[in-house]
Amino acid sequence: MTHGKTLRSPAALAEAGLIAPDRLPALERVAARYAVAVTPASLALIDADDAHDPIARQYLPDAAELDAAPGESADPVGDLTHSPVEGVVHRYPDRALLMLTHTCATYCRFCFRRESVGGAGTLSPAALRKAMAYIAGDPNIWEVILTGGDPLVLSPRRLAAVMAELARIEHCKVVRVHTKVPAVDPARITAEMVAALRCPGKAVYVALHVNHPRELTPQVRAACARLIDAGLPMLSQTVLLAGVNDDPEVLGQLMRGFVETRIKPYYLHHGDFAPGTAHLRASIGQGQELMRALRGRLSGLCQPTFVLDIPGGHGKVPIGPAYLQAGETGQCVEDPWGGRHPYPPGALDPNP
């Protein structure tokens, strides 16, 4: 059962028995810099007796967030350098992000936009008009991605109004909604919300951000089923996180959970260099090892693409592992179990 309120301060989390009172002074300093909110559905999943609980690690503030590591930046993926008007980030010609709000239901401690999320900042009606005019004015924009913040914290009425405007833009064929709400507040996915996400004449996809298999509860799976049954295909995105999902069993269970829920695994993100997130970042090498472990062991449907958003705003690229290597007389390809094979067949002996 989940009940109660979203907890929004270290004091409230201490009162709920989730953080030790002696940690409060340091955590108050964290909360003064980065927004804190944990929904009842997420709180219900936290095992307060487990010092390494993977749900707590994602959502409860940690004093380590006060330590900035070399290379970390307030704008790790270069949103600011690609924002032509308020609320729009346009880095790839065919896709534009539309950020309707800076609010999220639950704040992730590793958020790549942690310096801009939080508070009650929603795009003003005037700014929204300008953002829509920008999108309507560029015929290259084939896909509009609603992100933020979390667009599903907005009311169905507001979302329906945005969808109605996008429906009128001829060159926009696809609308993608990036959200965590079905996972952290599944009760918000009401029939009214589902109806609001329809965009007449456009293909609407919902990309769900989940990082641990325990978060795919029956309630969460049911919320996703409501979206998918209404004709909204779903994709997943997961951030590779140290101590949360940097384990082949855990990551495999998560990917299988997505596929069982009819959600196609899309991206496994390498952790961005957001300030104070070093303790949650795994290495690229670890990520590649995990991807190798998934390949061969799990259905092809369960394979996400491991991607890096190149710091500074240079775009997302797949970062392996690579199975094909150039040799002197041909190529060598590695199978899912580590065996090496010449290609074309017979071109060279890779295991002399």
Active site residue 94: no
Q: Which is nearer to ligand SF4, 209 or 292 (CB)?
A: 209
**Least distance to ligand SF4, CB of residue 44, Å:** 18
Which pairs count as long-range contacts for 331-339, CB under 8 Å and 24+ apart, including other chains? 335/296, 336/292, 336/295, 336/296, 336/297, 337/296
Q: Give the dihedral sign, CA 313/108/23/283.
A: negative
What is the Cα–Cα distance from 248 to 33, expressed in whole angstroms?
A: 33
265 binds, among ligand SF4, ligand PLP, none (CB under 5 to 8 A by kind): none
Active site residue 172: no
Segments of 112-241 assigned E as strands: 143-147, 174-179, 203-209, 234-239
Q: Which is nearer to ligand PLP, 9 or 305 (CB)?
A: 305
Q: Which is nearer to ligand SF4, 107 or 134 (CB)?
A: 107
Contact pattern from residue 78 through residue 107 relative to ligand PLP, giving x for each residue in contact according to CB under 6 A and a dash for the rest: -----------x-xx--x-x----------
Does the footprint of ligand SF4 cover residue 269 (CB under 6 A)? no
What is the Cα–Cα distance from 260 to 252, expressed in whole angstroms?
A: 12
Active site residue 229: no
**Cβ of 299: how many Cβ atoms within 10 Å?**
10
Cross-strand pairs, 307 = 269, 318
Max Cα separation, the chain?
A: 69
Q: What are the DSSP calls for 262-329, one per residue? A: TEEEEEEEPPP--TT-GGGB--HHHHHHHHHHHBTTB-GGG-PEEEEE-TTT--EEE-----EEE-SS
8 A C-beta contact, residue 124 and residue 102: no
8 A C-beta contact, residue 279 and residue 242: yes
What is the Cα–Cα distance from 177 to 56, expressed in whole angstroms?
A: 26
Write out the binding residues for ligand PLP, residues 136-195 only, by CB under 6 A.
145
**Least distance to ligand PLP, CB of residue 186, Å:** 24
Catalytic residue among 104, 172, 199, 302: 104
Write out the binding residues for ligand PLP, residues 241-280 only, by CB under 6 A.
none
**Least distance to ligand PLP, CB of residue 223, Å:** 22
Does the footprint of ligand SF4 cover residue 55 (CB under 6 A)? no
Q: Which is nearer to ligand SF4, 181 or 199 (CB)?
A: 181
180 binds, among ligand PLP, ligand SF4, none (CB under 5 to 8 A by kind): ligand SF4
Does the footprint of ligand SF4 cover residue 205 (CB under 6 A)? no
Active site residue 316: yes
Does the footprint of ligand SF4 cover residue 117 (CB under 6 A)? yes
Positions in the binding site for ligand SF4 (CB under 6 A):
104, 107-108, 111, 113, 117, 148-150, 180, 209
Catalytic residue numbers, as ranges: 91-92, 95, 104, 108, 111, 113, 272, 309, 316
Positions in the binding site for ligand PLP (CB under 6 A):
77, 89, 91-92, 95, 97, 145, 316
